[in-house]
Amino acid sequence: MVTLPDGTSSLRFEILGRPSAWRDGRELDLGPGKQRAVLAVLLLSPNRPVPTPSIVSAVWGDEPPDNGANVVQKYVAGLRRVLEPDRSPRAPGRLLTLSGAGYALHVPPGGLDAEVFQEQVKAALGIRAAGDAELAATRLREALLLWRGTALAGLTGSFFDAARERLDEERAAALEASAEIGLDLGEHARLVPELIRLVGEFPLREGLRYLLMLALYRCGRQAEALAAYRDARDFFTEEFGVEPGERLHNLHVGILRADPALALPAADEPRDTVPPPREPPAREPPVPEPARVLPVPSGGVPGPRLADAPLMP
């Protein structure tokens, strides 16, 4: 929750699900579906003016109303009443403003879930690059919790479809990065069911198929890893007439050869660890002295060995 710098009430906007607005933990009634759609268009370009014709095209597509500009103006007035209830009807909007370039919705930092998600993912990847994989994994999971379902749920049309696809791609990339870090941390057994589900949800992402094959192989399920490659090959050849990419192909070859490089990398020894003392070298057993032989008697018959000589009374 954030407080706007102009003193208006705390507001939070969401588009990673059904577009909505919240004040002090309470969801606001945004009115008719088209009014909610106008808000969503403005939230997809926060703090930037959107021309009225662009709003009309996004909301109504190929079937705009005859008086599109007036209808947009009507819905903007309805949104102002909801978002700025204390504003005088004749006072200019402070949160939703109009300029020669169009309407702009002013969203402060932290006020839009999609922007918070993007910032958290960027921070998590920076933490990973700095070497803290466990903290990076935690931050990625926190970012992914911001998703409440399908982005822009309930809105149709080419404009919203394109925006939804872009947001879904960002989510898929974050999920893939999270799974990759999990594999680095040795969580391949836990990740297998999740990766199977993600491959079904995002079949075009070879990276997820790669991670699934590697997780299966590290679980000792080589046959299933090879089957996952065959599934990928069938999908891409049937859908697009192409073979899987080089990275997926090389992993397939490595699994067939049981390449040791595919095993989980051993954890680096902490730099401040003192190595254990070395064991002293084992002593070699003493070499026994050769047995002494008694002199041969003059008759030519060798005498008894010392070990066989009778003990003297």
Instruction: Average the pLDDT over 232-236 and give the result.
Output: 97
Q: What is the reported pLDDT for 86?
A: 82
Q: Percentage of the chain with pLDDT > 90? A: 75
Report in angstroms the alpha-carbon separations of 9 from 2, 3, 82, 89, 169: 9, 6, 11, 17, 33
Is the pLDDT confidence value at 304 over 50?
Answer: no
Q: Give 11's Cβ-side CA count (13 Å radius).
A: 25
The tens digit of pLDDT for each residue in 24-81 reads 889 999 999 999 999 999 999 999 999 999 999 999 999 999 899 999 999 999 999 9
Q: Which of 222, 237, 262 is the endpoint of a domain?
A: 262
- Which CATH number belongs to the domain containing residue 219 in this structure? 1.25.40.10
Domain that holds residue 71: 12-105
Is the pLDDT confidence value at 94 over 60?
Answer: yes
Q: Which of 262, 283, 307 is the endpoint of a domain?
A: 262
Q: Band the pLDDT of 267: cuts 50, 70, 90.
A: low
Q: What is the reported pLDDT for 301?
A: 41
Report in angstroms the alpha-carbon separations of 125 from 120, 132, 173, 291: 9, 10, 11, 76
CA distance 188 to 178: 12
Q: What is the reported pLDDT for 90?
A: 72
Q: In this structure, are residues 4 and 95 in contact, taking their beta carbons and an 8 Å threshold?
A: yes
CA distance 12 to 19: 11
Instruction: Average the pLDDT over 200-221 and give the result.
Output: 97
The whole-model pTM stands at 0.80
φ/ψ of residue 128, rounded to 5: -65, -45
Q: Are residues 156 and 257 in the same domain?
A: yes
Work out the angle at residue 81's Cα, subtended by the Cα atoms of residues 102 and 55, and round it to the nearest 5 degrees. Answer: 30
Is the pLDDT confidence value at 245 over 90?
Answer: yes
Instruction: Average the pLDDT over 92-100 and give the result.
Output: 87
Paired tokens of 58? 């996004």
Paired tokens of 12? 């939070």
Q: What is the reported pLDDT for 266?
A: 62
φ/ψ of residue 140, rounded to 5: -65, -40
Is the pLDDT confidence value at 289 over 90?
Answer: no
Is the pLDDT confidence value at 260 over 70?
Answer: yes
Q: What is the reported pLDDT for 87?
A: 79
Q: Are residues 152 and 235 in the same domain?
A: yes
Mean pLDDT of the chain: 86
Q: Are residues 156 and 78 in the same domain?
A: no
The tens digit of pLDDT for each residue in 156-184 reads 999 999 999 999 999 999 999 999 999 99
Q: What is the reported pLDDT for 192?
A: 98
Q: What is the reported pLDDT for 264?
A: 80
The residue ranking higher by pLDDT, 5 or 24, is 24
In a domain, 275, yes or no: no
List own/partner pairs for 72-76 with CB under 8 A and 24 or more apart.
72/38, 72/103, 75/31, 75/32, 75/34, 75/35, 75/38, 76/38, 76/103
Q: In this structure, are residues 9 and 25 in contact, taking their beta carbons and an 8 Å threshold?
A: no
Q: Are residues 164 and 101 in the same domain?
A: no
In a domain, 269, yes or no: no
